[in-house]
Structure 1
Amino acid sequence: MSAGVTTGTSIPDTDLTALVGWLRSVGVETSGEITCSRVGFGQSNLTYTVRDEAGRQWVLRRPPVGHLLASAHDVAREARILEALEATDVPVPHIYGVCEDAAVSPVPLVAMEFVDGAVLTDRSAGEKVSPEVRSAVGAAMTETLAHIHAVDLDAVGLADLASHKPYAQRQLKRWSAQWEKSKTRERPDLDTLTARLSDNIPEQHETTLVHGDFHIRNVMIGPESGAVSAVLDWELSTLGDPLADIGSTLAYWPERTDAVVLGDPVEVMDGFPDRDQLAQAYLERTGRDPQALRYWHVLGLWKVAIIAEGVLRRARENPANRAAAGVPTPAHVDNFVARAVAVADEAGL
């Protein structure tokens, strides 16, 4: 069988003939030529659908193109987490293998199962599901977060995934360093916010698995039920305070009253819960501390601002890292910082 690619998106720096051979070595049999296409709005690790002539599909993940920050975009680590979670209540795709053969690609590639479901990337996707399903998506996401935070780390072999030291301090240290490496301009207001977060860290009562990037575009849902069929994009996952995850979810979740939004967000459509409803659903499900969640909401917005700045910089350096939704602008980063300051003021931080 031959391997090739039709006109359209290919996987950067990847030998497709060698890729087919590697796929066979991990149990993935392809028929005829394969075609590869970029999928999703993600602008960190890049995701591609691989199709063969028989119509079968698989998914490949690779790091972004260009200069990478140390420890970022580790797709092999991401694959380890997904493999560990396969036997738990957390819905994840099956991993076929991690390719580290330089003859196939100069960077690692992860091959995984293609999960049937919908990703609600924008309003056009949201229009395909009913308001009742949209409401169910919000409930399913908070339930899925509860499952992630209930994973027995020792039982699945993830107790050594990351440090067990206090999580807020680790996040502040890591993302402050990322800001210094990624920033395109000086932001005194972000620096002031960093100091406020450092001075008001709540006590951490537990250490759980933390997804680290849990938002609506990182879950696949059943379009008829709204149930979560797969949680995607685990590259930022670690061990830490579970409230950090719902804080990040709130940071990413836009509302109609927000001054600036990226793209055409689905979350503002009728049926979806607002941020307060999401927070309340999670707190009622888990019994965790609402005041501590306010802190983690601020830290989530602070972190998303830094991530957005990094995406902006990578896209400027290499257009291959751009995704269909476009890239954040300085105005988007400004908005995240302003929202963080507002939540911090309300929380008395």
Structure 2
Amino acid sequence: MTTLAGWFAEHGIPLDAEPELTLIAGGHSNLTYRVNDRYVLRRPPRGHVLPSAHDVGREHRVIRALEPTPVPVPHSFGLCEDTAVLGAPFYVMDLVPGTVVAGRDDGAAYPADARGPACRDLVGVLAAVHDVDVDAVGLGELGRRAEYGARQLRRWRRQFHAAARELPLVDEVHDRLAAAIPPQRRTGLVHGDYRPGNVLLAADGHVTAVLDWELATLGDTMADLGWLTATWCEPGEEELIESPAANPGFVRRDELIAEYHHRTGSDVSDIGWYQAFALWKLACIAEGVHARYKAGVMGADGVDVEAQGTRVNRLAEAAAAALTTLD
């Protein structure tokens, strides 16, 4: 049986000792490990995996395709689909310098004079993601392009119900979203979870790498802007998902939207729908996370499982509240 050390050797990846894996806390989906302080390894959770979720092969494919583009991604050393090596498929990539500025404390620790530039580069990199010629880089078959909103609503409702609990509000919000899907004005590569917690930032405010591409697909690029701004927690707002933006120096949500419009020329008039959709989708994802922690397959990283379940309800309520602005 091939060992992990043997796999590294077969792929010409230098190691100065036996590979030692250290779980990097913070992610609630695919598991991320630091390998000997030189590399990063990504693999699916150990169990209770929902259909079509946690496809590290897909994530690896996207990162590999984006390496020659202006989108900053880690260099990938290879994908292993032989589950005998580690018990699951995995891929290995560079350990890129930078800081994950995910939550309020991270934002407070991040250099004050770099916060504004970081916000602008977050939007600039998002614009670069949406500008990728997917056919030229080999991602033209990553997913269907049309009717993104309808397809996403069907998919995540199905994933939600596969996680076990019944929460009627999730279905109610789904129906209201489905009845008001905006026209898909621009089609391109969609990251699916674009926010400060999924990028690495240098101390001067520029993005050194975009991470966590497991939800990437083709479709309505406005969905990423809706996600970024829906998860952008301003001062005085309830923090339903970790965000650094309540700290001084981080720009307001409307400024992010204006910057994206300036960079891309995209029509942002329907942004409210995309923000409500993002909160609803987060509720569906959070329910899957809750189910995995409850099943004990996410490792012992101190997460309050019951609080995670309550968070699902609060996200659904926030999505319903966001929809009232569209009435």
Give TM class, smaller chain.
over 0.9
CA distance in 2 between counterparts of 1:210 and 1:146 reads: 11
Against the structure 1 CA distance between its residues 88 and 40, is the aligned structure 2 distance closer, same or farther, given a 3 Å change threshold? farther
Pairwise mapping of residues 42-191 of structure 1 onto structure 2 (< 5 A)? 42-51=27-36, 57-184=38-165, 186-191=166-171
User: Hey, what's the Cα distance between the residues in 2 that align with 1:46 and 1:36?
Assistant: 11
1:1-349 correspondence to structure 2 within 5 Å: 18-51=3-36, 57-184=38-165, 186-223=166-203, 225-262=204-241, 265-318=243-296, 320-321=298-299, 323=301, 329-348=308-327
Counterparts of 2:110 and 2:304, CA distance in 1: 24
Q: Tell me if structure 2 keeps the 8 A contact 1:93–1:113.
A: yes
Cα deviation 1:185-205 (Å, max 9, x = unaligned): x32222111111111111112
Q: Structure 1, residues 126-151: CA drift from partner, whole Å, max 9, x if none?
A: 33322221121111111111000000
2:316 counterpart letter in structure 1 = V
Q: CA deviation at 1:321?
A: 4.1
Aligned mates of 2:255, 2:303 — CA distance in 1: 27
- Following TM superposition, by how much is the alpha carbon of 1:255 offset from its aligned partner in structure 2, in angstroms? 2.5
Q: What code does the residue aligned with 2:18 have?
A: E
How far apart, in 1, do the equivalents of 2:318 and 2:109 lie? Answer: 30
Contact 1:260 1:335 in 2 (8 A): no
8 A contact 1:41–1:324 mirrored in 2: no
Question: Kindly tell me: are residues 322 and 148 of structure 1, through their superposed partners in 2, closer, same or farther at Cα, counting changes over 3 Å?
Answer: farther
> What are the Cα deviations for residues 6-35 of structure 1, in whole angstroms up to 9, with x where unaligned?
xxxxxxxxx9x8101101111211112332
User: Is 1:49–1:60's contact at 8 Å kept on the other side of the alignment?
Assistant: yes
- Equivalent position SS for 1:291: coil
Q: Secondary structure at the match of 1:281?
A: helix
Structure 1's 103 and 234: CA in aligned 2 closer, same or farther, altered over 3 A? same
Q: Per the alignment, in what secondary structure is the counterpart of residue 68 of structure 1?
A: coil
Q: CA deviation at 1:120?
A: 1.1
Shift of the 318–164 alpha-carbon distance from structure 1 to 2, 3 Å rule, reads same
TM-score by length of 2: 0.94
CA distance in 1, matches of 2:153, 2:107: 35
TM-score, normalised relative to structure 1: 0.88
Q: Which amino acid aligns with 2:122?
A: M
Deviation of residue 164 (structure 1)? 2.0
- Number of residue equivalences: 326
**Residues 62-95 of structure 1: per-residue CA shift (max 9 Å, x gap):** 0011121111100011101100000001000011
Q: Among the aligned pairs, what percent are the same residue?
A: 40
CA distance in 1, matches of 2:153, 2:24: 31
Higher mean displacement: 234-243 or 284-293: 284-293
Q: Mind listing any 5+ residue stretches in structure 2 that lack a counterpart?
A: none
Q: Which runs of 5+ in 1 are unaligned?
A: 1-14
How far, CA to CA, are the matches of 1:20 and 1:187 in structure 2? 45
Q: Which moved more, 1:324-333 or 1:303-312?
A: 324-333
Deviation at 1:325, TM superposition (A): 5.9
Contact kept, 8 Å, 2:5 with 2:18, in 1: the verdict is no
Equivalent-residue separation in structure 2 for 1:204 and 1:76 (angstroms): 28
1:295-317 deviation line (CA, Å, top 9, x unaligned): 11111111001111110111001
Alignment CA distance shift 1:320-1:172 (3 Å): closer
Gap change, CA 1:33 and 1:60, over 3 Å in 2: same
Change (3 A) 1:88 1:132: same
Structure 2 CA distance, aligned partners of 1:279 and 1:338? 23
In the superposition, relative to structure 1, how do residues 156 and 322 fare at CA in structure 2: closer, same or farther (>3 Å)?
A: farther
Alpha-carbon spacing, 1:201–1:26, altered in 2? closer, same or farther (3 Å): same
SS at match of 1:144: helix
Q: CA RMSD for the aligned pairs?
A: 1.9
